[in-house]
A and B are shown apart, each in its own frame.
Chain A
């Protein structure tokens, strides 16, 4: 009996591990669609709209990669994952890439054997409280009940923050953002903490967003980005350079509206030509078509367009570019050159 359990567990792990094979790009091409892990629902980043179509900033990343490979932004299977299931899903090969506002940390990169392909959003952990609580600083949160998504870096930051400030709190562990929102609105927790972008996105869906404030403290660095498994650098390159293509496109003024014109014939700008495949062989080096970047940009627009459309200041979420502006405009968004 004991042995049965032991080997049963081994079987499951063995089967799961055997699915993860090396040449992910070939697998994806053979399958005809990309399996992309996203959140279970965070408006602005990844959530199904009224018609059940997934939209959002992270979703845009998935669609860009699919478009780069297949020329078709809809060739994506979206796999909703929670904070706890996302890494197992990626490690086991259930998904090809994870775009689920996941923080790039040392141990995830090195110990969990993942490869982060860049940063698509520079974030930090914040706190949201109801206005009526009358709290102006996170240091006043002594004795608060705090809703926190389990299996996240925010959980550890929270513990560290309260420990260093020597104040007490009570964690309420939550699986998904929707659950946290429900608990927070019911008053079962006084405070909700997660990435500041996630807080803004969550607050935007409230009936009375003005009744809730984000506290000024940002207690951590949370560089969010897409990631893939260790050990398949070719696949990692596809995801990394798709992200870089979107960033470079914004820098060079290539948008979803003018990309087809610019790609029709070589332009005066050699970098635009290399990016859009009218010059050089960058696509073939990645194992993709020459017009891979054109397709990726046409899918949802360049980085700036994705940002403005999903989470920018004109959306209910209303996030300013801030750190996520292009490096030319004082932000941190910066792509290595296409050369």
Chain B
């Protein structure tokens, strides 16, 4: 009978760290980690030392100091007395704005061109190929500058829209409401009354109704095979309540009484006598509010001489009034006394302030306002909505450039779906349109979406080329003027890097969520 013994327990020898494959991999990792740590330590230490030698310390307090510079495109309230942090935020908003617009447009262009490139029509498919090759083989910066030059050099300046002594202008506005100039495109804008939130609730309800209609149509189709028309009923569900809501709410808001509150006015004055007494009126305008638009129309009809100072909201405008930066404001009749009391209570305030006797109403729930050429002073458009050329150039260039890449991704995605799929669909009697929508695209999307995410990230990061055309994105505000005025290169670049990182991660998170919904569900 033999005795089973355990194999002798080998003692651990240090040489095993190198020669024994069980330990060797760990050894290599530990050594690599130590080297990495040393490298980082050296880099950071070197930076800290050199900053100390220069007498600069690493801190972010500069973000809280006054920025002092102006930004021409402000999606959020900003003026030069606000902080560098606020200026950076304006820049970030601008970056996000142009990236979002660019991603949407690039996707639309990409899908259309990608499908066209597969067209059986020789001319169409070649044209699509020329577009793709042209845009993706020329550097983006060139396209941005070329498109910008097209606008600044190719379009006429705004003064060509002002009538000369004979009342004839060199250029007429398109349909009387749109002007494309080398300073930007001016188009009609929308202003909202205080009841507009109800209208937006109606809109949300309508959309919910349409979603419900579609679900119901699908359910009926799944059960009975009958195809229920959705488009026309959906249109009805959208339009009828919105139109009814518009008229009903407009009727209400046109009964909201409004009055002017004017600095330097005696009570009992009306607008005309106030204008006569004070010369040129400085109107605190809030372009997004219907009451402002209505008041401006009223002032134009009474032919008083006024200029606008644009503000973002009630608070902003009232602060400006209290500081004397503008002299006339329109408010709800019920709020006028409270406002006057509030302003008179401000320290150092010693001007007379009064309600003018003119009676106004708030106007329709949504008011359209048109850009108008000024009659005196510097020729420029007032009112309406301005899209500046840097935004247009950057947006077009980014979306055309990235669109070319997306077109190729879409084409690859469609070609990746086996021919048998479309043949089977045709055999079932599906028309080409439905085959594409119901059979090909859902399968192609699984191939398309992952590379699409990188294109969106590319576009977002490429938007930092904005500086070439003077678009005030985060690179131009935080990474440009702020760094230059405060000398905080390291901090500024770090912040900017973190912003782009966060933005990219957010985009890929959203897109990955969408991708996961589209991937093949294997059970």
Residues of A near any B CB (own CB < 8 A)? 1-2, 5-7, 9-11, 13-14, 17-18, 20, 83-84, 87-88, 91, 107, 111-113, 133, 135, 140-145, 150-151, 155-156, 158-160, 162-163, 166, 168-175, 182-183, 186-190, 230-231
> B152, A186: Cβ atoms under 8 Å?
yes
The B67-83 residues at the A interface (CB cut-off 8 A) are: 68-72, 79-81
Q: How far is the CB of B146 from chain A (nearest CB, A)?
A: 14
User: What B residues does A174 contact at CB under 8 A?
Assistant: 470
* Stretch from B6-14, B453-461, B476-484 that touches the partner: B476-484
B26 lies within 8 A of chain A by Cβ: no
A7 to B467, CA, bound (A): 25
Residue from the list B282, B325, B472, B486 in contact with A111, Cβ < 8 A: B486
> A2, B44: Cβ atoms under 8 Å?
no
> A2, B487: Cβ atoms under 8 Å?
no
User: What A residues does B487 contact at CB under 8 A?
Assistant: 87, 91, 107, 111-113
B493 lies within 8 A of chain A by Cβ: yes
Residue from the list B309, B378, B489 in contact with A135, Cβ < 8 A: B378
> B489, A143: Cβ atoms under 8 Å?
no
> A17, B480: Cβ atoms under 8 Å?
no
Residue from the list A7, A175, A186 in contact with B153, Cβ < 8 A: A186
B497 lies within 8 A of chain A by Cβ: yes
> B467, A14: Cβ atoms under 8 Å?
no
B424 lies within 8 A of chain A by Cβ: no
> A173, B472: Cβ atoms under 8 Å?
yes
User: What B residues does A162 contact at CB under 8 A?
Assistant: 70
Contact indicator per residue, chain B 206-242, by CB within 8 Å of chain A (1) or not (0): 0000000000000000000000000000000000000
> A142, B307: Cβ atoms under 8 Å?
yes
> B46, A231: Cβ atoms under 8 Å?
no
User: What A residues does B485 contact at CB under 8 A?
Assistant: 107, 151, 156
**CB-nearest residue of chain B relative to A1?**
B501
**CB-nearest residue of chain B relative to A111?**
B487
Q: How far is the CB of B47 from chain A (nearest CB, A)?
A: 4
**CB-nearest residue of chain A relative to B48?**
A14
* Stretch from B16-24, B51-59, B122-130, B259-267 that touches the partner: B51-59
User: What B residues does A160 contact at CB under 8 A?
Assistant: 68, 80
14 contacts between A and B (CB under 8 A): A6-B494, A10-B43, A107-B487, A111-B486, A113-B55, A141-B378, A143-B380, A145-B183, A151-B485, A158-B70, A166-B282, A172-B72, A174-B470, A187-B157
> B47, A159: Cβ atoms under 8 Å?
no
How many A-B contacts are there with CB distance less than 8 Å? 148
> B80, A13: Cβ atoms under 8 Å?
no
B182 lies within 8 A of chain A by Cβ: yes
> A188, B157: Cβ atoms under 8 Å?
yes
A166 to B320, CA, bound (A): 11
> A91, B157: Cβ atoms under 8 Å?
no
Residue from the list B43, B70, B476 in contact with A159, Cβ < 8 A: B70
Task: List 7 tightest A-B contacts by C-beta distance, closest first.
Answer: A187-B157, A17-B50, A151-B484, A112-B487, A14-B47, A159-B80, A173-B470
> A13, B55: Cβ atoms under 8 Å?
no
A20 to B47, CA, bound (A): 12
> A7, B470: Cβ atoms under 8 Å?
no
User: What B residues does A143 contact at CB under 8 A?
Assistant: 307, 374, 377-378, 380, 382
B40 lies within 8 A of chain A by Cβ: yes
User: What B residues does A88 contact at CB under 8 A?
Assistant: 489
Chain B: residues with Cβ within 8 Å of the partner, total of 55
> B484, A83: Cβ atoms under 8 Å?
yes
A186 to B148, CA, bound (A): 12
> B490, A13: Cβ atoms under 8 Å?
yes
**Assuming the A-B contacts A84-B484, A112-B487, are A166 and B182 also in contact, with contact meaning beta carbons closer than 8 angstroms in the complex?**
no
> B378, A190: Cβ atoms under 8 Å?
yes
> B72, A170: Cβ atoms under 8 Å?
yes
Q: How far is the CB of A240 from chain B (nearest CB, A)?
A: 20
Contact indicator per residue, chain B 419-430, by CB within 8 Å of chain A (1) or not (0): 000000000000
**CB-nearest residue of chain B relative to A92?**
B489
A187 to B183, CA, bound (A): 8
> A20, B50: Cβ atoms under 8 Å?
yes
A107 to B489, CA, bound (A): 15
User: What A residues does B493 contact at CB under 8 A?
Assistant: 9, 13
Q: How far is the CB of A294 from chain B (nearest CB, A)?
A: 35
**CB-nearest residue of chain A relative to B154?**
A186
**CB-nearest residue of chain A relative to B490?**
A13
> B54, A142: Cβ atoms under 8 Å?
no
A143 to B467, CA, bound (A): 23
A182 to B47, CA, bound (A): 41
Residue from the list A6, A150, A169, A182 in contact with B480, Cβ < 8 A: A150
B435 lies within 8 A of chain A by Cβ: no
> B481, A5: Cβ atoms under 8 Å?
no
Q: How far is the CB of B58 from chain A (nearest CB, A)?
A: 10
A159 to B68, CA, bound (A): 7
Q: How far is the CB of B374 from chain A (nearest CB, A)?
A: 7
**Assuming the A-B contacts A14-B46, A159-B68, are A142 and B378 also in contact, with contact meaning beta carbons closer than 8 angstroms in the complex?**
yes
A20 to B476, CA, bound (A): 26
B389 lies within 8 A of chain A by Cβ: yes
